[in-house]
Structure 1
Amino acid sequence: MAITTKERAQGAIIGAFIGDALALGCHWYYDLEEQYKDYGTWITDYTTPKKGRYHENQKAGDSSQAGFILKLMINSILDNNGYDQEDFCKKIDEELFTKIDGIPTHGPGGYTSQSIREVYRQRVEQKLDWSEVGSQADTTEAIERTLALAVRYAYEPQKLAKSISHNTFLTQVDDIVGSMTVAYGAILAQLIQGEKLDEDISNKLMKLVKTKQLPFHAVTSDNFQPPKPGSKDPSNIGLFASPDALLSPSFIAKAAKDPQIQIEPAWKVSLVYGMPCAIYHMLPACYYLAARFNNDFESAILHSLNGGGQNQARSILTGALVGAQVGIKNIPQRFIDGLNEKEELLALAQKLSKQVGKSLND
């Protein structure tokens, strides 16, 4: 039976929340022997953080602060039938910044990330306007909230790119981070439309670049061929200097399906691409797992989880990509039932899915 757009949208959102909560207990173990000592050699369910670890006062099945912010984003979208930056900033000021103090191990979820800490200090302590804030954090923190914008604007690439880039630059001002964040959103949107995360996905995205629906610079003609002779100015000049963030997923997806390229077991993708938090470690691993286990949510999320390091970001992003491919009905029920905010999160996902494809002018 075909998976509907609404089911894919809900799968992406719930998949992200599952990935977030699954990694809460076993977050940031860079020594895998220590992880094995605390949780065994293969983690299959929600875990409670150990004393002295990150999120130590949270319970198994809780959301981290990334999940808390993702909820704020979804509620803002629902309140405004789309992205309203002023409303989102107001929610951050009133519902997050009143609960944190700039210290890492504090606030909703038990930990506040680098970009949020820096913007908190700029907004609350330095009294800067939202137009003046931002950090150099090279992480996936913006993707973890803007994936909801990719869902909302899955059929509207220009609005997707504009809303995601604007929201990203509130907290992370690096252009490479911005381009990779928008690229992830564009890929997630393709999956919600029913496209596959395979070696052809970059060609589909580049067609959107050529028609100026995605703001990336491109100089080649179709299928990455050289510029056509005699063309006065073959380049498509966009917000981002290069389309490479749109191109890498196809190569990674091709590698995931190539029998001569083996990463076994699949969790070792974290060793291949790196355990740290930076976006250039996270995204290749997520794309690999989402392409390799495109119809198997459990395998994708558990291999992401058990890879150690920044497994929370890895699992949020992988959960969204695979959730979009399988749809909410094909996410194992035990993962949904284990969420402590199950009813609230399901309701948010369902409401957001009803807006997918709708114009702000509807």
Structure 2
Amino acid sequence: MTLSSSLTDRAAGALMGAFIGEALGVGPHWYYDLDELRQDHGDWIDGYTTPKPGRYHQGLKAGELSQAGLLLKLTLASLVDCGDYDEADFCWRLDHDFFPLLDGTPHAGPGGYTSQSIRDAWHKRVEEGHPWGRCGGFADTTEAIERTLAIAVRHARSPRRLAEAVAANTVLTQIDNNLVAMTVAFAAVTGLLVQGHRLDPGLSGKLMARVRTGELPFHAVTADRLQPPPSHAPEPPRAGRFASPDALLTPSYMARAAEDPAIRIEPAWKVSLVYGMPCAIYHLLPASYYLAARFHDDFEAAVLHAINGGGQNQARAMLTGTLVGAQVGLAGIPQRFIDGLAEADALLALARRLAEQLATEEN
């Protein structure tokens, strides 16, 4: 399969890839015992599944979205209606359309499970009455990535605006600076892929070029190709809030591993065992980057290997689906994944409207 040549196709592919990856994880989510996963869902999960009784998303049906997908849909609808990232509108939607459905416990609310960062924000906002801007906590998950990827797609052609908007939205619920840096880096990668670049060993160099122009808010001490700066060179200006560019370098290291014939993870779903099965962002990002580089032109292989690795496979598949969907485009996603997705027509309409907004934006 060839990479998509259309900006709007890639933008819509990234968004629908995220929704598909999220929905694929509803049934087999959070199995850390792989024998139990295989017993409940067979030797190879190849599509949407219904959760077994007693599992995290009990009550949902195959192809439906859980809470991460619903939050992405909320963010996407806000972007489409406002034509840009509007923090006041996004927060209004959380206050009026989402938080009233929660009670602060993990197993309540839409989608069958509420993540730690959303529970923390709910307690601070609803129970304690804090204003937005003082509701963020220290959960180390990819929850912010899962919703801000829509912002990354919308502002793919404006890296500075992308970084500002994604960082601002992230700190509404998660305030650890390293986590914010990794979230902004994922958004920057997504933006490049939507523009038509591939997740390959050269991608990080393109990101670092944007650091040097001040478009991405990372500080870099090293020179090109990570060489130390000459002793006579002046200290480079600080580009922004993130002290290190390392989050921008991870994708290309994973791409090098995927392309190196001497480094093989076989079968590829065992990437979850190499980088870790838990929910923390530092386990999930390397695995997602690896799968998205190795299967850059094969959406089905990428998301299914993400799912079959167990653990936090839902987030792994959601992020992988975003990155590969941005490379192959909507046209490169097998139709069966669209057909089996609940509310696919509504999600497609939102994705296409956002893609059109991106395409008509003055660069």
TM above 0.5, yes or no, is: yes
C-alpha distance in structure 2 between counterparts of 1:209 and 1:99, whole Å: 41
Structure 1 residue 235, shift from structure 2 partner: 4.7
Alignment match, 2:6: 4
For residues 7-26 of structure 1, what are the structure 2 equivalents within 5 Å?
7-26=9-28
Distance in structure 2 (CA, Å) of the matches to 1:197 and 1:171:
28
Structure 1 alignment gaps of length 5 or more: none
CA offset at residue 358 of structure 1?
A: 4.8
Secondary structure of 2:357's match?
Answer: coil
The residue number in structure 2 matching 1:98 is 100
2:147 matches 1:145: yes
Q: Distance in 1 between matches of 2:234 and 2:260?
A: 40
Which of 79, 82, 102 matches 1:77? 79
TM-score normalised by the chain length of structure 2 = 0.97
Structure 2 CA distance for aligned equivalents of residues 42 and 102 of structure 1: 35
* Cα drift, residue 196 of structure 1: 1.0
Query: Which structure 2 residues correspond to residues 122-141 of structure 1 after superposition, within 5 A?
Result: 122-141=124-143
1:203 — aligned with what? Answer: 205
Aligned to 1:121: 123
Kept in 2: contact 1:142–1:168 (CA 8 A): yes
In structure 2, C-alpha distance between the alignment counterparts of 1:198 and 1:162, rounded to whole Å: 25
Residues 192 and 324 in structure 1, CA contact (< 8 A), matched pair in contact too = yes
Deviation per CA, 1:185-244: give whole Å up to 9, x if none.
000111111111111001100000000000001012222222134223235342111000
Cα deviation, residue 73, structure 1 = 0.3
User: Percent identity over the alignment?
Assistant: 58
> 1:296: which partner in 2?
298
> Shift of the alpha carbon at 1:357?
4.8
Contact 1:220-1:234 at 8 Å conserved across structures: no
Tell me the amino acid that sits aligned with residue 224 of structure 1. Answer: L
Equivalent residue for 1:351?
A: 353
Asked if 1:190 corresponds to 2:205, the answer is no
Give secondary structure in 1 for the equivalent of 2:50. coil
Residues 75 and 266 (structure 1), Cα distance of their counterparts in 2 relative to 1, 3 Å cut: same
Moved over 6 A (4+): none
Q: Partner residue of 1:254?
A: 256
Q: Is structure 2 residue 203 aligned with structure 1 residue 221?
A: no
Q: CA RMSD in A?
A: 1.2
- Match for residue 274 of structure 1? 276
Q: Give the counterpart letter for 1:184 in structure 2.
A: F
Give runs of aligned pairs for residues 281-360 of structure 1, distance below 5 A.
281-359=283-361
Q: How many residue pairs align between the two structures?
A: 361
CA contact (8 A) 2:145 2:187 kept: yes
- Deviation per CA, 1:54-92: give whole Å up to 9, x if none: 110111110010010001101111111100111100001
Q: Aligned letter for 1:293?
A: F
The CA deviation at 1:340 is 1.1
Task: Give distance in 2, aligned partners of 1:160 and 1:237.
Answer: 15
